[in-house]
Every structure is written in structure tokens, then in C-alpha cells.
Amino acid sequence: MNQFTPNTQFSIFPPAVKYLLIWNGIFFLATINVFGYGWTPVGSALAPLLVLQPLGNGFFPTQLVSYMFLHADLSHIIFNMFALWIFGQALENLWGTRRFLMYYFLTGIGAGLIHMFLTGGSAIGASGAVFGILLGFGMMFPDRYIVLLFPPIPIKAKYFVAFYGAIELFSGLTRPDSGVAHFAHLGGLVVGFILIKFWKLKKPEQY
């Protein structure tokens, strides 16, 4: 089996998604005081090394990966992990574990780089990679319906991704000090789009 061979059996918790959920949970419990919020003593000690820092202000290349496993609070990690599971399982079952992991980390790293160069701020969270997963789902399953939570309206995945992308662009331009890394989200969408287009050109028979 080569690294781009899709899985032959569907799983609601394929290996990459399952272990990403587990490791994000471990990092969260180790670094965030769930009841009082804020860092735990371990989190405070590791934050300078793990948080994505601006260039020239404590930046290490490893932070482009480690920042994806940190979350600010319970709602932050629940939203990201729920989206990773809902949309990621379909992609991993389609692409296979190795390609899915490559896509996840490349979109997360690309999102971090774009955030750094456009905003110069620090960042934590898997949101950039998760937005890459959302983009991948929209491109691989464009006519599959997604039911919005508020309001509960079904919408095709391709329109859902376009709508979300437009919101993030508008928010990034109009609310740069909102505390949300909108350009990291957009970065995940952009890098995901480039990767999928590149893979389609390289091996179109697999799409």
C-alpha cells in the first residue's frame, strides 16, 4: 500500500483523527486550568516554547507545530475538536491516514506562517488546520449537505465553506484586535486549496 491509497473501510474514528483528538485533549488538560481558566503551572512554564510567537520575539520553528495543540479555553477546544472529528473523518477515510496527516499539518503550519507575516501576533489553537479540513471537505464533498446549528438550515458544503471564508476575511479586515486569529483561519483555507489543486494535477485519477 502506498501512502496515497485510500482506506477501504469506513471508520467514524479513523487513526489520525482519533489520535489528534487524544493528544489535543492531553495538551489541554496539562496546560489549561479548566475550572479557573488560564495556564496551569505546566502551561505557564511551557507557553514561551509552545505558543506561536512573533518573529524576533521568542519564535522557534517548532512552534509552528506545537501551537496547534494548545487551546485557550474549553469552548475553544470543543469547537475545534468537534469540527476536526465531523469533517476530518470523511477526509481520512477518503485519502488514507498518511495523506490526511500531511494535509492537516501542512495547512496548520501554513496558517501559522500567514498569521505571523500578516499580523505579527502570537497564536494558539488548531483552528488553522481545522479550517483546512473544512476546505478539504467542501472540495471533496461539495454537494453534501451540512446542517447549520444557528439557525438549523441545511446548506451544501461548498456554499458553507465559501460563506465561512467570506466571514473570516471580513472579520480579519474589520476587527484586527478581536483576539481571534482570522488570518490563520484564512491561511488554512488558502493552503488547503493549493494542496488539493496540486494533488489533483499530480494524480488526477485519485480524485
Q: What is the pTM of this model?
A: 0.88
In sequence order, what are the residues at sequence separation of 6 or more whose Cβ sits closer than 8 angstroms to the Cβ of residue 127? 80, 111, 181, 184, 185, 188
Task: State residue 206's pLDDT score.
Answer: 57
User: pLDDT, tens digit, for every residue of 132-150?
Assistant: 999 999 999 999 988 766 6
Looking at residue 73, the DSSP 8-state letter turns out to be: S
What's the number of CA atoms in the CB half-sphere (13 Å) around residue 43?
20
Most distant CA pair in the chain: distance in Å?
A: 52
Cα–Cα distances in Å, from 182 out to 1, 41, 91, 192? 38, 29, 23, 16
User: pLDDT, tens digit, for every residue of 62-98?
Assistant: 999 999 999 999 999 999 999 999 999 999 999 999 9
Greater model confidence, 160 or 164? 160
Greater model confidence, 40 or 180? 40
Percentage of the chain exceeding pLDDT 90: 63
User: pLDDT, tens digit, for every residue of 90-101?
Assistant: 999 999 999 999
- Burial classification of residue 179, based on how many CB atoms lie within 10 Å of its CB (0-12 exposed, 13-18 middle, 19 or more buried): exposed
Q: Which domains does the chain have, with CATH numbers?
A: 15-206 (1.20.1540.10)
Task: State residue 202's pLDDT score.
Answer: 76
**Count of Cβ atoms closer than 10 Å to residue 169 Cβ:** 15
User: pLDDT, tens digit, for every residue of 180-206?
Assistant: 788 889 999 999 999 999 998 877 655
